[in-house]
Amino acid sequence: MTHDQTEAMTLADKIVILNRGNIEQAGTPQELYQCPATMFVASFIGHYPMNFLPGKVDLSRNTILMNMGIEVPLPKLHAKITCGTEVFVGIRPEHILIKTQPESGQVEARIEFIDDIGSDKLVKVMTMRGQVPCSIRVLDDMPLSSNNPLRFELLLKKANLFCQRTGFLLGRWNE
């Protein structure tokens, strides 16, 4: 037993996540990291916190209207939802790509802060539309500086969809 999630991820074959004395999820480290059953598990597991990007479901178009100004297709759903359901797209910082050429589906943001760790950088941005905070992990020596604009896109095949009200997983794009 440990309260150190890094130790658990490194040493364990199977992890059981408890939340207030209840089992939230059990599985291998990779299962918990890639397929968290709840927002609690998603935010607990991983070196960098998962981004929770808000939006609303539009069933008439089979999409999610993101607060940050883009529309993304609904994933395969695990639960029934209604039009207007408020959701979070949960995506890890390493699954967001900074883009140099403008294309549709990208999000415009402004760099708030750069945490240079040496081997990588955690770039904290604020979206231009919706003022949604987001963290992006950058592995290369891309020239970046605070207060500058940038564009990014989400690797949806690595993302999870959570209900804002309950925190439970609603679906995933890679299924």
Amino acid at 79: A
Q: 116 by DSSP, 3-state: which?
A: strand
Run means of pLDDT, 10 residues per run, the chain, 175 residues: 65 87 94 95 92 96 94 89 93 95 92 91 94 93 87 96 96 87
What is the predicted pLDDT for the residue at 100?
A: 87
Q: Which residues of 75-100 are buried (b: 16+ CB within 10 A; e: fewer)?
A: beeeeebeeebebbbbbbbbbbebee
- The C-alpha atoms of residue 10 and residue 33 are separated, in whole angstroms, by 12
Domains of the chain, earliest start first: 1-46 (no CATH), 47-172 (2.40.50.140)
